Chains A and B, each alone.
Chain A
Amino acid sequence: MRAMADITDTARMFIQALPHARALGLVLEEIGQGRTVVSMPWDEKLIGDPATGVIHGGAVSALMDTASGAAVMCHPAGPVSTATLDLRIDYMRPATPGQTIRARAECHHITRSVAFVRVTATDEDESRPVAMATGAFTVDAGRNGDPR
């Protein structure tokens, strides 16, 4: 078991160290045991539909993937490293142009080899998700074989 402060630092560094997360302008807003909230401010460069100004689904996928990976990293039994094995995304509705998109990810189960994650993306209307995803992530336990 790691100290929570240590885990929080790991997850925060995890996001800051990702060049593409920086390029997307991602912000780690909240962090808990196996839980993260990551936000992506609206930006013209991420538009997928020029007629409406709606952000591209791909950017929402990148946001949800990042929030999910960070949730794995901050799980109490968390690994030293992780990678996405599989991600299944449902797109429910277009995100409202001009609004920040927020992903809430939860690593709800972890084994020695695999971490399972649920993630929901919302804009300012949090009662109607923009997208939801479930993912499986690798668990790299590090050299001693035990997740730290």
Chain B
Amino acid sequence: MSSEYERLLRETAAAIPYLAFLGIRFETAGNELTGVLPYAPDLIGNPLIPALHGGVTAAFLEVTAITGLVWSGLRQGVIAVQAPVILPKTIDLTIDYLRPGTARDAFARARINRSGRRYASVHVEAWQDEPDRPFAQATGHFLMQRG
């Protein structure tokens, strides 16, 4: 069953042009899903530092939160195991920029704080070198879509 979830996740992500635009991919290991944002020059906001664009960081946190919700939702039966997966919709997102994202690969992982029938609350952190030293974090609310 786990490989079925994996296949659904890959198909769903591959169909979203914006993920390809940013170059984001997802890696899974058991319950855990990690978003990966490989460095690319087009992701830079401030070329002097150079630092990742704040909007790229926001987008990376948001897509990892949504995909993390899907990964846990599929496994817990909250999200229907069907193609295409019906994605949760973002209601709001509060992004906390802790330090500049530098010109390196970035990673992100979501923690589902609450996942109900209609609403979910998710916290997500992004880091580059050390997972314990995030460069940005966000909390968002999401609307679970009925199939």
Residues of A at under 8 Å CB distance from B? 17-24, 44-51, 55-59, 61-66, 69, 81, 83-91
Contacts and interface: CB of A to CB of B under 8 A. Distances in A.
A65 B54 contact: yes
Interface of B: 15-18, 20-22, 41-47, 51, 53-56, 58-60, 62-63, 84, 87, 89-97, 100
Nearest to B86: A51
A61 B18 contact: no
A8 to B, nearest CB: 20
B19 to A, nearest CB: 8
Given A58-B18, A91-B89, A19 B94 contact: no
A20 B45 contact: yes
B17 A61 contact: no
A17 B49 CA distance: 12
A21 B45 CA distance: 7
Given A58-B58, A62-B56, A62-B59, A45 B20 contact: yes
Given A18-B47, A44-B17, A61 B92 contact: no
B53 A20 contact: yes
A19 B89 contact: no
A62 B62 contact: no
Contact of B21 (A46, A63, A65): A46
24 contacts: A18-B44, A18-B45, A19-B42, A19-B45, A19-B47, A20-B44, A23-B21, A23-B42, A49-B16, A50-B17, A50-B84, A56-B16, A57-B59, A57-B62, A57-B90, A58-B58, A58-B59, A59-B18, A62-B58, A62-B59, A84-B54, A86-B97, A87-B95, A89-B94
A50 B58 contact: no
Contact of B18 (A18, A46, A66, A90): A46
A50 B86 CA distance: 11
